[in-house]
Amino acid sequence: MSALTDDTLPVTPRAMRDEMIVFAAMAVLLGLVPLTGIYPFFVMQALCFALLACAFNVLIGYGGLLSFGHAMFLGTAGYCTAHALKVWGVSPELGILVGIAGAAALSVVTGFISIRRQGIYFSMITLALSQLLFFIYLQAPFTHGEDGIQGIPQGYLFGIFNLAKPTVLYYVVLAGFLGGFLLIYRTINSPFGEVLKAIRENEPRAISLGYKTDQYKLLAFILSGTLAGFAGSLKVFVAQNASLTDVHWTMSGEIVLMTLVGGLGTVFGPVVGAFVIIAMQQYLAGFGQWVTVIQGVIFVACVLTFRRGVIGEIAHYFRRSL
């Protein structure tokens, strides 16, 4: 079995410098968005999905675990945050914490169950668990079934920032995204991240070196699920609703697609992939069901000819790690 990702380049000081330069450029560019005429709602949505895809990438790109059920964290955190804001009337920061706590609790349980099998079995189990949750949310009273939770008040973050103003909301979402991104970046470049890569490359050897690989995989799963939940909580403020589409397994497929297009196991790939896919959905919305077909074609094309993804190809061409 060949490795999932093109990770032949070692982590060198130069690689770290490259990545920090790209990160700074990304932060500045995203920070300037409200000054341009770009529709902020679109960028905010893309940022939420970018964080989600980055969280997903921790598992697949560094742990070699393809979760096909990451929509369950997005949806669970969304429902928790929405319920806390609308029914309990808590402040936004508490609402986000409730969402993150919900996703974290879910990731502990689902992670404990799913890491018991490897490879494609792991993928099928995460998919089945997310479908189980879909049916639970379909029937549970607090989610309002097909209608979802709508008309969520946005409120004042820390009592100061009025989230109903698009520009304020934009910078809050951007800060959330950049914070989450840096946390992920720090994790994958830590000793913990190195062990994860070792497990991806050769699990039996990692075990023989004395690492309790199940614990590492479970921790990575919890981290990934919790951060995906953070993305789901932020998304509630952008979309002002929480609905079943966020939990359905087609959403999990879209998350995989975003990461695949950008580049599995690259630092910036998921961000680019999320922007590409969200832009595509935005501008191709008029084609109706053909969007599904186009997504399928992209999937097939990526797997057959373009396995490194956008960022992966660029990094490979310049022989840099990105």
Other beta carbons less than 10 A from residue 218's beta carbon: 17
To the nearest whole angstrom, how small is the minimum distance from the Cβ of residue 89 to another protein? 30
Tokens of 41: 């709602």
Gap between the terminal Cα atoms of the chain:
24
Query: DSSP H helical segments within the chain, as ranges?
Result: 13-32, 40-57, 63, 71-83, 92-114, 119-139, 166-188, 191-201, 203-208, 213-239, 249-262, 269-283, 290-305, 309-318
Query: In the window 50-69, what residues touch another protein (CB under 8 A)?
Result: 60, 64, 66, 68
Query: In the window 221-280, what residues touch another protein (CB under 8 A)?
Result: 249, 253, 256, 260
Residues across the chain: 322
Written as one letter, the residue type at 281 is Q
To the nearest whole angstrom, how small is the minimum distance from the Cβ of residue 148 to another protein? 19
| Complex with another protein: residue 129 or 278, whichever CB lies closer | 129
Q: Which stretch binds another protein (CB under 8 A): 7-15, 88-96, 131-139, 238-246?
A: 131-139
- Give the residue, chosen from 72, 127, 251, 272, that forms a contact with another protein under the rule CB under 8 A: 127
Query: In the window 104-123, what residues touch another protein (CB under 8 A)?
Result: 113-114, 116-121, 123
CA distances from 82 to 105, 170, 259, 264, 290 (A): 17, 19, 27, 31, 32
- Give the residue, chosen from 128, 218, 219, 314, that forms a contact with another protein under the rule CB under 8 A: 128
To the nearest whole angstrom, how small is the minimum distance from the Cβ of residue 103 to another protein? 18
- Positions that interact with another protein (CB under 8 A): 1-4, 60, 64, 66, 68, 113-114, 116-121, 123-125, 127-129, 131-132, 135-136, 138-139, 249, 253, 256, 260, 288-293, 295-300, 302-304, 307
